[in-house]
Amino acid sequence: MLTHQFNPYSACTSILVGKNASADGSTMIGRNEDSRAAWAKKMIIHAHREFEEPQTFKSQDQTHPFTMTLPKIRAKYTATPEWTAEYGLFEEDGINEYGVAMSATESAYCNTRVLAADPYVKDGIGEEAMVTVTLPYIHSAREGVERLGHIIEEHGTYETNGILFSDVNEVWYMETGAGHYWVAQRIPDDAYAVVANQLAIQEIDLVTMTIIFMLKTFVILY
C-alpha cells in the first residue's frame, strides 16, 4: 500500500543556462517556489517612471524595517508579488525594459562561526525587497550583481540567499554569505547549473576576478 505524507518544508530549486548550452542560443534562468499549498501570485507590470526627486523605499516587513534611497529613473519591469503584502512585498522575479532578468531568492543558510564574525543585520535587505530595489535600475546581469552587492555592503542583510541574473549574453549566480559578504559566479556560456537550498559557490579564483567571479570589495583587497 502506498501512502502520501505531507511535507512541511518549504524549498526552492533554481536553474541557470548559458547561451551556448541552450538549443536556440538563449540565456535562461528559472526558479520554482516550493511554498505552502495555494500560495497565489500576481503578475504586474511597472511602468517606466522618471521622478523629480530620488524616491525612498521602505520595507513593508515590520520585523525587518529596511529602507534606502532609490534613483530618480525607474525602468519598466515585470514582477510577481505575493497575493498579500502582509509579510512584505516579495516581488520575487521579473524582466526589465533592457532585457535583464532577475529571480530572488534561493534561500540558504549560514553557520554560526561565520555569523559570529559578520552577524546578520535586522534592518538590512532581504528577499522581500531585492527585486524591487535592484531590477528597475540595472542595464545588464553584471550590473545587477554589482548593484545588489553594494546594497548588501552598505546596508547589510538579515538572511542568506542565492540570486539569479541574466541578460542576452551572460548569466550570473550570486550568494550572500553573512551580514555583509557576498560572492557571484558567472555561468560559462557552454554550461548550466542547478542549485538547491544551500550555498553552492565553493572555490574562488582571484585571478579571474570580474570575468568569472565578483565578490565583496573588502575580500578583493586580500
**Catalytic choice (7, 12, 118, 172):** 12
What pLDDT is stored for residue 198 in this prediction? 83
Phi, psi of 183 (to 5 degrees): -150, 150
Largest CA distance in the chain: 67
Domains of the chain: 11-220 (3.60.60)
pTM: 0.90
Q: What mean pLDDT is reported for the chain?
A: 89
Q: Which long-range contacts (CB under 8 A, 24 or more apart) does 61-65 make?
A: 61/87, 61/88, 61/126, 61/128, 61/129, 63/122, 64/88, 64/122, 64/123, 64/124, 64/126, 64/128, 64/158, 65/123
Q: Does the pLDDT of residue 67 top 70, yes or no?
A: yes
pLDDT tens across 29-44, in order?
A: 999 887 777 778 899 9
pLDDT tens across 2-16, in order?
A: 444 445 556 689 999
Side-chain half-sphere of 18: how many Cα atoms within 13 Å? 12
Q: How far apart are CA 100 and CA 114, in angstroms?
A: 32
| 137-159 as b/e: b if 16+ CB within 10 A | bbebbbbbbbbbbebbbebbbbb
Angle between helices 141-155 and 127-134 (to 10 degrees): 130
Q: In the annotation, is 110 catalytic?
A: no
Q: Among 56-70, 78-92, 154-168, which is the least confidently predicted range?
A: 78-92
Q: How confident is the model at residue 1 (pLDDT cuts 50, 70, 90)?
A: very low
